[in-house]
Every structure is written in C-alpha cells, then in structure tokens.
Structure 1
C-alpha cells in the first residue's frame, strides 16, 4: 500500500508541475544574460552570492504570490485593484506597466541578438521574428501545451549552459565560496542591483499569481490546503533550476572573460570573444540558448503584461477582446524604437533590469499586505515566520535601492 500511495503522490505532483517553470523562464531572460555576463566578466565569481540570495528571496515571494492566487481565485493585479483605493491602485499599476516595458525591452532585444548571432539577421528582423513566434505560441496553443513548450525551452537553455561549464572548466575553489559569501562595493553595487532585479522580477510575481489558476485546487479551504505542498514543490524545483542556470552564466563569464581579462561591452561581443577562447561549440551553444531564452521569456512576459493591464483596468482576460490583443503588443513598441535608433543595447539591457529592481518595493509591499489579510486569505494568510521573512526581504530590496540611488547621485 505504501508504494502505491507514493506512486500516486508522485503522479499527482507531476500534474501540478508547471506554473513555477513558466516563472523561471522569465528570470533567465536576456536581461539576466547581460547582467550576469557583466557581473562575471568584471568581478569574476564575487557576485555569485547575489544569485543565491535572490533565489532564496524569490522562493519565499513566489510561494506567497501563488498562495494569494490559490486562496482568492484572483491574480495579484485584481487583488490590488479590489483592496486599495483608486489613486493607490493606479500608481501601483503604472509602476508595474513601466516594469513590463523594461522587461519587454530585454526579451525582444535578447531574441533579436540571438537570431543575429545564429542566422545573421539584422536586429530589427530578429525582433520581428521573436514577436511573431511569441504571438503564434500564445494565440495558437492551448495553455498546457504552451506550458510544455516553455519547459522544453528551459531544459534546452539549462543543457547548453551545463555543457559550457564543462567546456570552460571554472575555478571551483573560487566559485563555490562566492555563492554564499557576500562581497559588495561601490563599483559592483549597480551590477548587483541589476542582477537582483533580473532574478526577483516584479512582473513574474504577478504572473505566478495568475497562472497558478491553471490547476484544479478544489473549492474548499481544506481541499486547497491539502494540495498546497504540490505548489511548494513546483516553486522550489523551478527556482532551484533558475539558480543553477543564472549561476552558470556568471561562472562561464568569470572563467572565460575575467580570467583572460577580456572586456565585454555587448552580448554580441561576448559571443564573438567566447568562440576563440572556449571553442566554436561554446559560441554556438551561447547563441542557441539566447534564442530560446528570448522567445520563451517574451511569451511569459506577454502573459504577465496582459494580466497586469486587464487586471488593473478591471477587464476580463479574454483573448477575443481588442484590449487583450493590444496588451500583447503595447509594451513591445519601445523595444523596436531602441533597435531602430541603434541605441547601446547592452547598456539598455542592464538598465532595464535596474528599473525592475527599483519597482520591486511597489510590488512586494502590496503583496505582503494582501497575504497578511486573514479576511482575504483565510487559512492561507501568512504566518509570523513567513511574514517576518517577507519583511526582511522587502527591507533588503529597499535598502539596496537607496544605496544604489545614493551612489549614483553622489558618486560616493
């Protein structure tokens, strides 16, 4: 009987795996590539701890976002609109829409650069192909099939980077301690904040609270509580996979670029420099993974953007409506402008992730307030330990933001 029960539980777990992995694709997007390459090439292994800290923070926050969706049957965007006054809701909605624009800049630029590296497409054409694939996947596929496709993308990205780690042979005696020992100074704070923003992405918090509804959680609190461990397992497994890939990005950059004192000023240059230093296979895997990251993350960012825009406006999330279709494309416009104007894509990618970090408090604080609301959450309301952990996480984000602004303004 025990073995049968264990098999049943494992099969049930497989049914619930998925939402967390959609979120994971979002935080190994091209913005992460830019920040991780910058961090690894300039500071070696020393910023690996930021990935570890960010992932721990992410596990707590994403679990709270998923619980909010399960307990209320509504996304974070809808809950904010219902809970807060119209001016506060409008202000919070505006900040997350701006964060979505920054996210789309990273996703489309990354996809465009990936297609340029693999096939020689000009950036504007690569961006169009990325948007085309993104739209096709969203419109033509059922959700669960789309989920499987995105998980396949994630597996390809992870495999590419694990092979690259094998190729470059990093200094593990330096890398392993750096994963847990903090090291930060005035020179690295900007990149550290960009890495933090690239991992704990605010739009992903909204996304998780919405896509969690793709599973049948039951009607009563008892039914939902009995299945909550499956959500936790999905979130934990997905976030750990994201930690592995993001850490691998920094490790490869440190082992190749920092070790050889090769300055990197663009993703294209990173690919061009990687090939002679680590071999043509490493360069090919880099470009291939970037294409899958760009397309996959653009799909999930569009899903988040649609939910944010429709949720804050109090409109249904219906693919047949004009608002839904507009929401899929609206935030892509700045990306095309950046490409057409031939702006510095590498700096834009890093800056976009800093924008995400600066927005985080405007997502975290409402999430904490909602998850602590026992009327809204019932038995799912955050307990003292979870709430205290979330407060510490929010405080870390806010303090780092203040430090970033201080060092940027004063140059101190």
Structure 2
C-alpha cells in the first residue's frame, strides 16, 4: 500500500508545466475559437495535448538520465554558435510568453478593481517575482496545485450554468473537422498549447526529485512515476481547455457573438450568466496569469542558467538574471508599445519561429546514445517527434505565407 501511494509524492512537475498551456493566451485562443467556430475545433485541443504528452515525457527523460536540463545539454553538446542561436531565441520566446501571462494578470485586475493595465502589469511582475524568489520548488508546486484547482473549479461552476451537448463535445474532441476559414484560428489554439518554454522547464524541475543516476532500477522507476505525473497533469489541462472552449460555445457561438478579447468575454458574461459568473471568470483568469507568470519566470531562469552550464538555483546570479530578463523584458514591451494586442500577435510569431528549434534540439539529444546511453529514444519515439517537428514547421510556414 505504501508503494502505491509513493507515486503521489512525484506529482508536481507536470502540474507546473500544465499551467503553461492554460495561461491567459490560451484562454484568449479558446474563447475566440469557440465563439466563432463552435465545436469544429475541439479536436485541435486533443491533438495539441497528445503532442504535448509526447514531447514533455521525452524531455523529462533527458533530465532524469543525464541530470542536466535541456538548456544545459544544448550548451554542452552543441556547437557554440548553434547553442547560442537556440538558447537566446528560447529566451526571446520566453519573454514573449511572459508578455501574455503578465497581461492576463493586468486584464483580470482591471476587470475586478478597474486598475489600469500598466499598473496591473507592474503588480503582476512584483507578486510573481516575489513568489519565485522566496519559494523552493516544492512550495511553488503547492501554490500551483492550488491555482490550478481554482481555475478548474471556476470553469466547472461556469459550465453548470449553461446547456451543453456532451455528445457533440465527445465526438468533436476526437474527429477532425477543418475548413479553410478556421485554419489560422486552429493554429492559434494549437500554438497556445505546445510552447518551447515548457520543454526547458520540465527537464529542469523533474530533477527536484532526487535519485541515484548510477542505479538503473531507480531510473526506470523514475520513468514510470514521471509518466504518471505528466499524463495526469496534461489530461487535467486538456479537461480545463475543453471547458473553456465549451463555455465559449454555449455562451457566445449560438448567439452569434464573436469574442475578440478577454475583457469583452467578461463583459458579455454579465448579462448572459450574471455578475457572479463574471466574477469567477475574472478570478480564474487572475490565478491563471499569476501561476503562468511564475512558471515562465522559472523557465527564464532555467534557460539563462543553462547558457553557463548551471542548474536552476534561485540563489545564484545566473538564475536571478534569467528570471528578471523574462519579467522585466515583458514589462518593458508592455510599456513601450502603443497597441498591446498587436504586440501579442508578434509575440506568437516569435514562438512559431523558436519551437521547431527546440524540438529539433530535443530530438538530437534524446536519440543520441553517447548522451542517453541505453535509454536513448527507440525508433517509434524518434519518428513521432520527427513527425511533430515537421508538422509544426509546416504550420509555421503556412502561417507566415498567409
């Protein structure tokens, strides 16, 4: 019985990653997609989640086997020029991610207290950085579990207020239905799920569970526990994402209301579902923004530390600088641009460019016997990741052509 419950001690790293794809940018993509295309794009969330499980599970193996995160491994095993391109582009992409997270906090604070966006952004940066600089992994995991629970319960409450065709939800979640007019929105929904900073972060935080790298039995046990944590957490994220989409369908699609931003969604919920539903929506967005700001900041510390072949350690200067580059860089963009929504569009373009670089780096490292030993990828895993990389690259090319 004790061994059965021992696995629960290993749940946490996956949840930290999960908040990365239920962030405010993801909220915006889901609510906008649901309001315009109804049930047609639910399968994209399923496809994105399956892709995420494969990539996150694989990159966690790198951390377990080598004791290095993805950034450290890239620095150690790549040509210096190549490693600079991959890692510095990853930092830029992480700043872009943080931009959306901080804006989510600011928009939620504006909804709740009429606080200006610039001030709400500052509050978001200050609070998230305080939490990063004053907490260990395990304490942060507890905060994140609480945040994810609040987000999840907020959507359960919202969905209880509307009528939903669960048969349509089930079918549409697994049966592809794509038309030319929905392709760009589908790309946005997919891109809001699969993001590079989560890959760097997962390979680092999986090491918060200490183990003996010389003991093969211990490593295999870690693989099992990690897969349970990753699968459970990603499925939880899948459920929350579907809930967002379905809520948007029920509230906006059938009333032919096209929602273009989160503030609009909040205002529209008041006459449709009442003040309490709108309040819970804003609180869920607030906790989503805070939790994802924490994880993007941690990812920034991980990547920047990896440039110097060091582990994430919030007491060392490299990690501190990485966290500050992420949050203050995003804040600087918010203050310097006139159109914040336009800045978000460009930030997504940065993610589109960087993600194939991260996937290609991960595939090279985890398929290399010199690096992974007998735990290198098998042929099926290599093919799966290669297909994912080619698919995402193709989507990016199509996106830029359009």
1:270 aligned residue: 265
1:8 aligned residue: 2
2:277 aligned residue: 282
Q: Following superposition of structure 1 onto structure 2, how do residues 7-406 of structure 1 map, counting pairs within 5 Å?
A: 7-219=1-213, 220-315=215-310, 317-340=312-335, 343-349=338-344, 351-406=346-401
Q: Distance in 2 between matches of 1:74 and 1:364?
A: 17
Q: Distance in 2 between matches of 1:330 and 1:391?
A: 31
Q: Distance in 2 between matches of 1:227 and 1:88?
A: 31
- Contact residue 125 and residue 328 of structure 2 kept, 8 A: no
Deviation at 1:70, TM superposition (A): 0.3
- Contact residue 52 and residue 180 of structure 1 kept, 8 A: yes
Deviation per CA, 1:209-235: give whole Å up to 9, x if none: 000010023232232113311110000
Q: Distance in 1 between matches of 2:245 and 2:342?
A: 17
Deviation per CA, 1:343-379: give whole Å up to 9, x if none: 4444544553453233211111110111111121123
Deviation at 1:274, TM superposition (A): 1.4
Q: Distance in 2 between matches of 1:88 and 1:104?
A: 24
Q: Distance in 2 between matches of 1:318 and 1:174?
A: 47
| 1:346 to 1:185, Cα distance in 2 relative to 1, 3 A | farther
Q: Distance in 2 between matches of 1:8 and 1:233?
A: 17
- Contact residue 221 and residue 379 of structure 1 kept, 8 A: no
Q: Distance in 2 between matches of 1:174 and 1:344?
A: 38
Deviation at 1:142, TM superposition (A): 2.3
Which runs of no fewer than 5 residues in structure 2 stay unpaired? none
TM-score for the superposition, normalised by structure 1: 0.93
Q: Distance in 1 between matches of 2:179 and 2:72?
A: 39
- Contact residue 194 and residue 354 of structure 1 kept, 8 A: no
Deviation at 1:310, TM superposition (A): 1.6
- Contact residue 70 and residue 204 of structure 2 kept, 8 A: yes
* SS of aligned partner of 2:161: helix
Deviation per CA, 1:133-172: give whole Å up to 9, x if none: 1112111122211111111100110111111111122233
Which runs of no fewer than 5 residues in structure 1 stay unpaired? 1-6
| 1:278 to 1:357, Cα distance in 2 relative to 1, 3 A | farther
Deviation at 1:64, TM superposition (A): 0.5
TM-score for the superposition, normalised by structure 2: 0.95
Q: Distance in 2 between matches of 1:279 and 1:349?
A: 30
1:4 aligned residue: none
| 1:350 to 1:43, Cα distance in 2 relative to 1, 3 A | farther
Q: Distance in 1 between matches of 2:188 and 2:345?
A: 6
- Contact residue 337 and residue 343 of structure 2 kept, 8 A: no
Q: Distance in 2 between matches of 1:353 and 1:162?
A: 29
Deviation per CA, 1:223-264: give whole Å up to 9, x if none: 211331111000000000010111111111111111111122
Q: Distance in 2 between matches of 1:162 and 1:388?
A: 38
- Contact residue 68 and residue 203 of structure 2 kept, 8 A: yes
Alignment: residue pair count: 401
Q: Distance in 1 between matches of 2:218 and 2:21?
A: 31
